[in-house]
Amino acid sequence: MPSSRDVVFVDGVRTPFGRSGPKGMYAETRADDLVVRVIRELLRRNPGLPPERVDEVAVAATTQIGDQGLTIGRSAAVLAGLPKSVPGYAIDRMCAGAMTAVTTVAGGIAFGAYDVAIAGGVEHMGRHPMGEGVDPNPRFLAERLVDGSALVMGMTAENLHDRYPGVSRERADAYAVISQERAAKAYADGKIQPDLVEMATRSADRGWGLATADEAPRPGTTLAALGALKTPFRPHGRVTAGNASGINDGATGCLVAAADVAAELGLSARMRLVSYAFAGVDPEVMGVGPIPSTERALRLAGLGIGDIGLFEINEAFAVQVLVFLDHFGIADDDPRVNPYGGAIAYGHPLASSGVRLMTQLAREFGEHPEVRYGLTTMCVGMGMGGTVVWENLGWEGK
């Protein structure tokens, strides 16, 4: 029986995230081509890695049809020019797809089945809207297994506001302004650009273009502007387009390796995977999922919330982040939480977002050698949460 090995995050990249729809920059770009671009960039940035040493390619997509189908991990690996000997597969855990791709290959590395793997995710929500082609079993409602709102993410966020009345619309809007401000500052300070890969785009009307930055951020967003937005999921509700993530297109990917193999190949490991956990919650309030998954991941790591110096929380909805912060006694504007801003600004192309969180955390670790531990966490459709605890390999206490 092989002994467990340390698993490290070597590098992560992503395409700029686009707005979904006919006017979005990826409207006429294939989803699998977004993944191919990410894989090629990972190999270009890490020349010490012979392509044949990649043992697995795991790519997540929530809607696995069309150009997000055909076992996208394998098809994208072939299209990216990896040797045909490199296998691949597709994975689905809705919003936590890329996160699950990382934890799944990490388990294989720890066990000894792999040395190096590529993991990531893609979502082209313009081509494949969330829920496209699904056929929910009527027993969900007929047997009252879930409330009808469980299948509409915005309604689950309104349910969360109901359950936690201390999180008002005004508070959610104020958090959204913080996210936009931090994202704008991160761009201005050059924090985001190093991990973006330029992506060619095409349009029958506009010709060829080049995507070099995220399309969704709205710098200069004000509380007054957010307060004027409609509440599409409920009359006089609290969830708006301004305090929630958008509908987006994009792909992410990262290199994960055994610590000893990374050293052998001269790959610079940036953080070590300490623990991870997934948890289920009532689907009607799926936004609380990160609370039990974080509690479990911390318990497995032998850590407490006070040991965590940086948090990357996916901002599917502001209310979901605020409920998490309240539970753990963290202030709404705590500088340790999403210091570069989050999905309210950048967007949330479902299955791809988990690796965006990891890539930003790795970058933040590099700026904060005084911080030893950080975590990435997110809520997941159908009532789940996922959390990964990481150790900063640049920690000055080592």
Please identify every residue annotated as catalytic: 95, 348, 379
- How far is 67 from 36, CA to CA, in rounded Å? 12
**Encoding tokens for residue 116?**
């190096």
What secondary structure letter does DSSP report for 200? E
Nearest in space to 252 (alpha carbons), one of 39, 398, 48: 39
- How far is 374 from 271, CA to CA, in rounded Å? 9
- How far is 242 from 221, CA to CA, in rounded Å? 9
- Cα-atom radius of gyration of the chain, to the nearest Å? 20
DSSP letters of 152-173? -HHHHHHHHHHH-TTS-HHHHH
Nearest in space to 15 (alpha carbons), one of 388, 373, 346, 367: 346
CB 387, CB 376: distance < 8 Å:
yes
DSSP letters of 119-165? EEEEEETTTS-TTTT----THHHHTTSS-GGGG-HHHHHHHHHHH-T
Strand partners, 385: 279, 379
In 72-114, at which residue ranges do the beta strands (DSSP E only) sit?
88-91
Angle between helices 318-328 and 290-301 (to 10 degrees): 40
Question: 3-state DSSP helix/strand/coil percent for the chain, to nearest 5?
Answer: 40, 20, 40
388, 393, 397, 398 alpha-carbon torsion, rounded to 10°: 120
- How far is 353 from 351, CA to CA, in rounded Å? 6
